[in-house]
Amino acid sequence: MTRTAVTLAYRTPSALEPSAGGSLLGLQTAGGSSPRGAMAHPSFFAGFIASPRVYAAGLLSVADVAAARYYRPERRASLDPVVTGNGDRLRFESFSGCCGVHARLDVLAEGLEGRTTERGTTNVDVNNPLREALTRLAPDEPLHLRVGPDELAVTTAAEGPLVEKKVPLPDRWVRGFAETQVLAAGFDLRAELDAAQAVRFLRSLPAGGTAKAGAPAGWRIPAPGGVLRPTSRAVPGAVCLAGPERLGALRRVLRHITGLRVYGPPVRAGSEPVASAWEVGLPGMRLTLTLSPGVSRGFSGEGAVLQSLASDTAAEDAELLSVLLAWEARVEIAELGAQAGLDTARVRDALTRLGTAGRIGYDVAEAAYYHRELPYDADRAEAHNPRLRDARALVGAGAVELDGDTGVVRSGEQVYRVHERDGVLGCTCPWWAKYRGGRGPCKHALAVRLVRRGELVAMAGGVA
């Protein structure tokens, strides 16, 4: 298995400290991406958590998965969770060391009491002292959350020694993110349990320990009364539950659960094991665990992305769509296709291509993609699009100026004005006049979008 060393550098360790009127949870960030380009220590949120103990338990569940190896647990994983700011929510994600379990805690708008979250993706430090402190959080104690360094400290303090973590990053760990979002996009809601039914079901599962790799995958059939009846064979409507011990991370939030929703792909009698997603509702939040089809089967080997990666146009389309994404909480495929001049099938293939670089996730609760960019070096499956290449050349030549909602682009002796209305780019150039957006944005519109997103900063730092 190919592994690379990744260094996560934080200004200070994350900590839970007393503050006026409650506690302050300062989550320190490492290098990441934002609309302004690459940043060493981005700040995403400063405000209060509506349900502090629920959030603490959910964050610890995500950290539990990041530290776990459910298959061959001879060594612990130690990769810090990833956080994405999507404007109206924060998403905390992790992958198990064996690449068979993906965890995500979505802290929704109703769970946050503060300013709108900034957009971008980075790692957050979750260390052992912090984990211990979170378990001791007092009931009803107000919790102020700060994701990123204190802004005043960032602007006034000199750079000091950083807290560094050097961890192995298996290539299959990043690939697993791609496979997970492709598989999840094919899931449908299979069962829904209320709070009492959900707690009863989760308490009936094995309490923990190492999942048995050789054990056959189990199945659950929704039955009246909120029962998930076990069976040894697949039947229509059933959900695969391979290695039920892998749902153990949900035990941390049992007392806070408002319900359980179970997702899986369509199956028929005798189907082979498949992946599944188990989402528990929490006050103002959702915690979802996605399980691979088998304890010994990591997501990276499932091959769900191969068909899209074989597309003749996916690489070029992905490069084009990458400019149009802006850390949206919901990526609307039809709208994205209209902006890029692509049909739905090509948009889906391109999103899969972006997923191979960790730039797209999928939320089964909303049946929608969302934009995030994993803060790791990865082989990004993209090719050079001529329009995008020309747009980058315009940006590099300093040919773009922003004038409020309008962009002015000088190309040779010509001057073009780019406008954006309701998320759709327009331009005064002949190319745009001919196609009227039917083939996506022109190079001038793309250049303006690049500047607005801070792509020039990212390119200067060598980030594609």
Report yes or no: 244 and 218 within 8 Å, Cβ to Cβ: yes
What is the pLDDT, as a whole number, of residue 230?
93
Express as a percent the part of the chain with pLDDT over 90: 40
User: pLDDT band at residue 298, thresholds of 50, 70 and 90?
Assistant: confident
* pTM over 0.85, yes/no: no
pLDDT in tens, 230-247: 998 999 999 999 999 999
User: pLDDT band at residue 296, thresholds of 50, 70 and 90?
Assistant: confident
| More confidently predicted of 97 and 63 | 63
Q: How high does pLDDT run on average in the chain? A: 82
Work out the average pLDDT over 211-239.
84
3-state secondary structure the chain: CCEEEEEEEECCCCEEEEECCEEEEEECEEEEEECCEEECCCCCEEEEECCHHHHHHHHHHHHHHHCCCCCCCCCCCCCCCEEEEECCCEEEEEECCCCCEEEEEEECHHHEEECCCCEEEEEECCCHHHHHHHHCCCCCCCEEEEECCCHHHHHHCCCCCCEEEEEEEEHHHHHHHHHHHHHHCCCEEEEEEEHHHHHHHHHCCCCCCCCCCCCCCEEEEEECCCEEEEECCCCCCCEEECCHHHHHHHHHHHHHCCEEEEEECCCCCCCCCCCEEEEEEECCEEEEEEECCECCECHHHCCCCHHHHCCCCHHHHHHHHHHHCCCCCCECHHHHHHHHCCCHHHHHHHHHHHHCCCCEEEECCCCEEEECCCCCCCCCCCCCCHHHHHHHHHHHCCCEEEECCEEEEEECCEEEEEEEECCEEEECCHHHHHHCCCCCCCHHHHHHHHHHCCHHHHHHCCCC
Residue 291 has pLDDT above 50, yes or no: yes
Ranked by mean pLDDT, which of 72-86, 111-125, 401-415 comes out on top?
401-415
